[in-house]
Chains A and B, each alone.
Chain A
Amino acid sequence: MDILPILSTLRRHKITALLVILEIALTCAIVCNAVFLVSQRLERIHMVSGVAEHELLEVELANIGPKADDSARTAEDLAALRQIPGVTSVASVNQLPFANSSNNSGIKIDRKQNKSSLNATTYYGENIADTFGLQLVAGRFLKADDYVDIDTAKKAFVAGDAKGLPKNTVITLAMAERLWPGQQALGKQIYMGNDLPLTVVGVIKNLVRPSIWDDATAQYSMLVPIQVSDGVYAIRTAPQERDRVLKAALEKLKQANPHRVVLQKRTWDEIREKFFQNDRAMTGLLVGVCVALLVVTALGIVGLGSFWVAQRRRQIGVRRALGATRGNILHYFQTENFLLATIGIVLGMALAYGVNLFLMVHYELPRLPVMYLPLGAVVLWLIGQVAVLGPAMRAAAVPPVVATRSV
């Protein structure tokens, strides 16, 4: 196909051709970035938690009356929950991953450090590793004799008495690699807050934080051997048993102490669902805008294509009369569209890069991976070809006799 005649025709329709190019360029830039945003959100939605996702339940209770002997009550609750058939493990914890409210602490590797090395979530609760289903990669989990009661620990901390304080900790791989890159973390010492020394006895593969400010630090979590009685219970059971176990658990807890209110009763899947609901909504919106943009662009091409075909009926007739086949005419319009789309895509890529720079500055987004550009190009080429097909076929159907009319 000779493209020179096409170019000379386009030169006579500069403004219209420019508008098509501009529309394709804008669409290309927006769609590339929107698809990139969607992929970022999807990646976030599928963030690894490190827990046995489909086996966990959460029940949270709060006392109506004044505080009573909490740790004894908690022990009774835990014993009652363990009796439920199907329950494999129970823990009284201070927080759950993705549950949004979190307890964190600055971590130092040297007591004399002025600034903390990082900020990590501190998970408390005996039996937490077993209940969450955490995966150990080195060392050991915390044992029953590592644990101290929270009230004892607090008193000891304020009094500066080392005896009642927790001594060991288990940290995530991400945290270990950030604190001691390339080194063995086991046996190393960290300082929680200002001066609570803890020895790393185990490293776990993953454990995500309850609330996430920065995805890069999402896995900075540690287990501290402190027993808590906050009324937050994590229950582990087989996925198909969850509904029954949750119902039974609520009943048992009500029996144990009716003078309290259930604040939370849900599966961990629901917690995850809720945590990412905004990301999911945003993903849907972005996909919707992409589709709408592509449809508008395609309709625009159809509209302009139809106009051009109608305007050039005579020329088409003349070409047909001079021996051009239907295929020649069809290819002419297809090539013309391909040319315009290509120029639009080249401009669009530059624009996409610019939009990405803007997003990087204002929305802390990473750089647009290069692979999105050819992907966007292919999509726009396809859209252009599909859109121009109708008008081009109509052009091909113009009979040669048109050339002889109205002369």
Chain B
Amino acid sequence: MFGYYLDLALRSLRRNKMLTALMVLAIALGIGACMTTFTVLHVLSGDPLPDKSARLFYPQVDPLDMDGYEAGKEPERQVTWIDGMNLLKAKRGERQALMTGGAVPVQPTQSSMDPFFSDARYTTADFFPMFETPFLYGHGWSEAEDDGKARVAVISRSLNDKLFDGKDSTNQILRMKDTAFRVIGVLDNWRPNPHFYDLNMGQYSVAEDVFLPLATSRDLNLARNGSRNCWGKGGGNDDEHLEVATCVWLQFWVQLQSADKAADYRTFLDNYSKEQKALGRFERPSNVRLSNLMEWLDVNKVVPSDVRLQSWLALGFLMVCLVNTVGLMLAKFLRRSGELGVRRALGASRREVFMQLLVEAGVIGLAGGVGGVLLAYLGLWLVRLQPADYASLAHLDLPMLLITFVLAITASLLSGLLPAWRACQITPALQLKSQ
């Protein structure tokens, strides 16, 4: 029966090519627009570390003085050197890392290459195992190298390609800021989305090219980048004295054995704040937060509001396209009242006629879905040409592709329901009489 309905549907669609094309185009445009924006939204609100994000936490404490104090206000989103170091050394988590962004002048040995600046991350040993960074060659550094301010570096695959032609560069010397560093590791392609561990450096920016021990960066007074917020006399300090300044400028991440341990850690943070207040370092009452990775992304509102707006817009557009299709389908089905009347008079039940019309709607949906996917590819290609830093991430994956088809067919079946039902209501006798 389905084959017969399909044949009827194709014949009917062929009979009025313009109308068919109009319906398919409307569905394709609506679906294409929706899939483009939903894919961007899906990519941007993704989990950068799906296996682990529930166990990674970002603690916040409130080290400010009483100036501008408001009870219950969100504490600073970074930590001071002293608090960062205290939390790091306390080792209350399974792993923990303290970090900041920076930039280092790289001096290639090749005479053909001019010195250039690379984005860098100054951090501590646990960064690599905690964030599960993939290593192409070598490994990260250990706590001993942190303590010893060792001149060691981990570099990205792209920098390794640029400087060492992609060969294993471990134990090679890399000169940066007139200092010789030993390469101990090369990361494989790694681009966590969003750039969750430091959202100040561009929320969807690529991972840094150079990773150095934090203590080494301080020892050499390497330039740092990112947000810095000072209070009291903090603003009077220059970069060389940031360790003692009343400024927050570091990010601190901690990995806990399980999500249940979060309560214990929060108690620890609370006690730490009270202790610091008793010591006179903190002035405000204890105000601590502990967000896991995905919560932290929410707090920072990482998904650009423009992208959300575009999704709403596309949804509205799809709605108009569907209403348009319902209207056209209704017109088409009612125009065939005579033919349907004959079928009904020849014994086809109302249900069968209904099914036949739905098959026709489904065919339009399928064609619209194919068109929609093509338009979505075109749309995403256009998105990738955009200047935003997330642009290069916009790609259609398999689940999204399947969703596109399901959405297209559901949408057109839904829009076929009303016209098909309406067309079934005709009385065969009346139609036959008017022929």
Verify if A52 is at the interface (C-beta below 8 Å from B): no
Pick the contact of B306: A278, A303, A304, A311 (CB < 8 A): A278
Q: Could you tell me the distance between the alpha carbons of A27 and B320 in the complex, rounded to whole angstroms?
A: 7
The digit string for A236-273, where 1 denotes a CB below 8 A from any CB of B, is 00000000000000000000000001010000000000
A303: B residues at CB distance < 8 A: 18-19, 22, 327-328, 331
Q: Could you tell me the distance between the alpha carbons of A151 and B239 in the complex, rounded to whole angstroms?
A: 12
Residue of B nearest to A263 (CB): B117
Q: In the complex where A16-B331, A303-B19 touch, is A116 in contact with B235 (Cβ < 8 A)?
A: no
Verify if A296 is at the interface (C-beta below 8 Å from B): yes
List 28 A–B pairs whose Cβ atoms lie within 8 Å, in order of A's numbering: A16-B330, A19-B323, A19-B330, A23-B320, A23-B324, A30-B316, A37-B309, A62-B117, A64-B178, A67-B221, A114-B69, A154-B237, A157-B236, A158-B237, A277-B387, A278-B306, A278-B387, A281-B386, A292-B29, A299-B22, A299-B26, A300-B323, A303-B19, A303-B331, A304-B328, A304-B331, A307-B328, A311-B334
Residue of B nearest to A192 (CB): B235
Residue of A nearest to B310 (CB): A285
Q: Could you tell me the distance between the alpha carbons of A151 and B236 in the complex, rounded to whole angstroms?
A: 9
Q: Could you tell me the distance between the alpha carbons of A160 and B29 in the complex, rounded to whole angstroms?
A: 66
Pick the contact of B105: A23, A29, A261, A282 (CB < 8 A): A261
Q: Are B387 and A194 in contact (CB under 8 A)?
A: no
A20: B residues at CB distance < 8 A: 327
Shortest CB-to-CB span from A191 to chain B, Å, is 11
Q: Could you tell me the distance between the alpha carbons of A278 and B386 in the complex, rounded to whole angstroms?
A: 8
B68: A residues at CB distance < 8 A: 106, 114-116
Q: Could you tell me the distance between the alpha carbons of A155 and B29 in the complex, rounded to whole angstroms?
A: 64
A65: B residues at CB distance < 8 A: 177-178
Verify if A339 is at the interface (C-beta below 8 Å from B): no
A282: B residues at CB distance < 8 A: 306, 310
Closest 4 CB pairs of A and B: A157-B236, A307-B331, A19-B327, A300-B324
Verify if B190 is at the interface (C-beta below 8 Å from A): no
The digit string for A103-135, where 1 denotes a CB below 8 A from any CB of B, is 001100000001110000000000000000000
Verify if A293 is at the interface (C-beta below 8 Å from B): yes
B326: A residues at CB distance < 8 A: 19
Q: Are A157 and B235 in contact (CB under 8 A)?
A: yes
Q: In the complex where A154-B238, A282-B306, A289-B33 touch, is A296 in contact with B332 (Cβ < 8 A)?
A: no
Verify if B407 is at the interface (C-beta below 8 Å from A): no
B308: A residues at CB distance < 8 A: 362
Residue of B nearest to A153 (CB): B236
A22: B residues at CB distance < 8 A: 323
B233: A residues at CB distance < 8 A: 157-158
A281: B residues at CB distance < 8 A: 386-388
Q: Are B177 and A66 in contact (CB under 8 A)?
A: yes
Shortest CB-to-CB span from B244 to chain A, Å, is 10
Interface size class of A (residues with CB under 8 A): 35 or more
Verify if B400 is at the interface (C-beta below 8 Å from A): no
Q: In the complex where A297-B320, A363-B309 touch, is A23 in contact with B388 (Cβ < 8 A)?
A: no
Q: Are B29 and A363 in contact (CB under 8 A)?
A: no
Chain B CB within 10 A, most for which of A65, A67, A299, A363:
A299
Verify if A310 is at the interface (C-beta below 8 Å from B): yes
Verify if B319 is at the interface (C-beta below 8 Å from A): yes
The digit string for B96-125, where 1 denotes a CB below 8 A from any CB of A, is 000000010101000000111100000000
Verify if A185 is at the interface (C-beta below 8 Å from B): no
Q: Are B235 and A193 in contact (CB under 8 A)?
A: yes
Q: In the complex where A23-B323, A278-B388 touch, is A261 in contact with B116 (Cβ < 8 A)?
A: yes
Q: Could you tell me the distance between the alpha carbons of A144 and B22 in the complex, rounded to whole angstroms?
A: 71
Shortest CB-to-CB span from A315 to chain B, Å, is 13
The digit string for B307-329, where 1 denotes a CB below 8 A from any CB of A, is 01110011011011101101110
Q: Could you tell me the distance between the alpha carbons of A297 and B305 in the complex, rounded to whole angstroms?
A: 28
Q: Are B115 and A64 in contact (CB under 8 A)?
A: yes
Q: Are A62 and B105 in contact (CB under 8 A)?
A: yes
Q: Chain B binding site: helix, strand, loop or mixed by DSSP? A: helix
Q: Are B330 and A15 in contact (CB under 8 A)?
A: yes
A26: B residues at CB distance < 8 A: 316, 319-320, 323
B18: A residues at CB distance < 8 A: 303
Q: Could you tell me the distance between the alpha carbons of A37 and B335 in the complex, rounded to whole angstroms?
A: 41
Shortest CB-to-CB span from A67 to chain B, Å, is 7
Pick the contact of A297: B66, B235, B236, B324 (CB < 8 A): B324
B33: A residues at CB distance < 8 A: 289, 292
Q: Are A15 and B309 in contact (CB under 8 A)?
A: no
Verify if A345 is at the interface (C-beta below 8 Å from B): no
Q: Are A310 and B335 in contact (CB under 8 A)?
A: yes
Q: Could you tell me the distance between the alpha carbons of A393 and B25 in the complex, rounded to whole angstroms?
A: 25
Q: Could you tell me the distance between the alpha carbons of A23 and B237 in the complex, rounded to whole angstroms?
A: 62
Q: Could you tell me the distance between the alpha carbons of A303 and B321 in the complex, rounded to whole angstroms?
A: 13
B237: A residues at CB distance < 8 A: 154, 158
Residue of B nearest to A359 (CB): B309
Q: Are B418 and A289 in contact (CB under 8 A)?
A: no
Shortest CB-to-CB span from B44 to chain A, Å, is 14
A62: B residues at CB distance < 8 A: 103, 105, 117, 223
Q: Which residues A286-313 have CB closer than 8 A to chain B? A: 286, 289, 292-293, 296-297, 299-300, 303-304, 307-308, 310-311
Residue of B nearest to A159 (CB): B236
The digit string for B1-22, where 1 denotes a CB below 8 A from any CB of A, is 0000000000000000011001
B231: A residues at CB distance < 8 A: 193-194
Q: Are A293 and B320 in contact (CB under 8 A)?
A: yes
A30: B residues at CB distance < 8 A: 313, 316-317, 320
Residue of A nearest to B176 (CB): A64
Verify if B397 is at the interface (C-beta below 8 Å from A): no
Verify if B148 is at the interface (C-beta below 8 Å from A): no
Verify if B260 is at the interface (C-beta below 8 Å from A): no
Residue of A nearest to B229 (CB): A104
A377: B residues at CB distance < 8 A: none
A37: B residues at CB distance < 8 A: 309
Shortest CB-to-CB span from A368 to chain B, Å, is 15
Verify if A175 is at the interface (C-beta below 8 Å from B): no
Verify if A207 is at the interface (C-beta below 8 Å from B): no
Residue of A nearest to B305 (CB): A363
Residue of A nearest to B332 (CB): A307
B114: A residues at CB distance < 8 A: 261
Shortest CB-to-CB span from B375 to chain A, Å, is 11
Q: Are A289 and B317 in contact (CB under 8 A)?
A: yes
Residue of A nearest to B226 (CB): A101
Q: Are A34 and B313 in contact (CB under 8 A)?
A: yes
Q: Are B235 and A300 in contact (CB under 8 A)?
A: no
Q: Could you tell me the distance between the alpha carbons of A155 and B235 in the complex, rounded to whole angstroms?
A: 11
